[in-house]
Structures are given as structure tokens and as C-alpha cells.
Amino acid sequence: MRFRTVREWGESLDFSRDFIALACDKGALRFGSFVTKAGRNSPYFFNSGLFDDGTSFNALCGFYARAIVAARETGGRTGLGFDMLFGPAYKGIPLAAGAAMRLAETGKNVPFAFNRKEAKDHGEGGALIGAPLAGRVLIIDDVISAGTSVRESVAIIRARGATPAGVVIALDRMERGQGAISAAEEVAVTYNIPVVAVATLENLVSYLADNAAFVAHLDAVKAYREVYGTRSAR
């Protein structure tokens, strides 16, 4: 299968759809039978670690940048305002660095930082690498499952006197957590910050419905949505 170039992936105005197409091409978005952390039998699975070459990862980070810019432009006063990026270990580390690079290409040059799982006690020491956490800090991660990564990131940011500004993820599954709302919605309510996704379950359903190569998976995804989806996903 031929992968598109970075330029080709950026041509469409519908970047959510382009992101899903890229994820399918790379096998980062797969269909079948998968058991989630919550013990649910899901008909699809997303693994951002499979964007494992320069072209696809550059495109992925470009989609993050476009989602961030779109949220800033359409949000008005309540939009996505931030001063720097933070990538929680481990998957958030390359995502934050890559998103910062792609944002710089748009004229938005911001510092970034990430954490170590264990503090280093030699050399420069400490648990953080990169720019000092300051101002409004935007958290960059792949997905929100139980919200553990976000919770730890918020604690790190606040401990250094900075303010969490929001979270940007690749895919919002829009399925219920412990209650009636999704894990992403729980994060937004708990910390009073926006959660922006490059693509959502709604985008995925639309893509499957219009794509002959994947339409066979549509009924299973819609059935799963009916059982586990939030109200906004139905």
C-alpha cells in the first residue's frame, strides 16, 4: 500500500478524515475484536505507536498542529490559549516535540517539555526535560483512557506554578467511563479545561460509511457505539 507524502496528507480541509485515513493505512487503527482496558470487546483499536516512520509521524504531528490551530481560531474567548506544550511519558514525549515543530511551521513557535518516569539523580538531575513549565501549558497525548496520564500531568504542571490549559489527543472514542460521560469529558469537567481531539468516533463512523474498503466494519462500530457510546456520540 502506498503511503501519501506529508504534503498530500495536508491538502484536504477535512483533517480529521485525513487523519483516520492515515491511521488505517499505517495499521494504527485496526478493526476486528479487541479487549479494552475496561474489559469491553471493541471492534476497533487505535495504537499511535504504529506511526513509526518519518513521513507518517510528521503527518500525524501536522494533524495535531492543525487541530490546535483550529481550536484557537474557532474558540473565541474560550478557545485554546496556551504558552507551551507538555508531553507526558512515554507516548506524549515525541508527540509534544513533533507538534511543536509543526506549529512552528505555522508561525506559532512555542517551547515544550516532558517528564521522566523516574527522576534522574545525576547530571542535570530532575524529572523534567525541556523548557521550564510556565504560563498556560497544553498537554499533548495520544488518547484518554482512565485519565491517569492527564491527572499526573496536571499535578506536575501545578506543582511548578503553571496552569494546565487543555489536552489534545489523537482519537476520542466517545464512550462512557465509569458514569454517563466519556473519559475525555470527565477530564474536561474535573479540571475545567478543554479537550481537543484530532478525530472522534463520529468522524470514524462517517469515514467508514463512505469508504468501500472499510464499510464492512461500520455495523460493528455502530453497534458498539449504541451500547457504550455517550449521548453525544449517538
Lowest mean pLDDT across 86-90, 99-103, 117-121? 117-121
- The span from the CA of 89 to the CA of 94, in Å, is 9
Give per-residue pLDDT as tens, 173-208.
999 877 889 989 999 999 999 999 999 999 999 999
Distance between CA atoms of residues 77 and 81, nearest Å: 9
- Rounded CA separation 88/14 (Å): 28
Catalogue all structural domains in the chain, each as residue range(s) with its CATH number: 6-233 (3.40.50.2020)
120 is catalytic: yes
* Catalytic annotation, pick one of 108, 122, 217, 222: 122
Q: Crossing angle for the helix pair 148-159 and 183-191, nearest 10 degrees?
A: 20
Higher pLDDT, 158 or 233: 158
pTM of the model: 0.89
CA distance 73 to 83: 15
Say yes or no to pLDDT of 99 above 60: yes
The active-site residue, picked from 26, 37, 120, 222, is: 120
- Taking the C-alpha atoms of residue 71 and residue 80, their distance in angstroms, rounded to an integer, is 6
| 177 against 101, higher pLDDT | 101
Quick: pLDDT tens for 161-170.
999 999 999 9
pLDDT at 231: 72
pLDDT band at 74 (very low <50, low <70, confident <90, very high): low
C-alpha triplet 61, 64, 70: angle, nearest 5°: 145
- Known catalytic residue at 122: yes
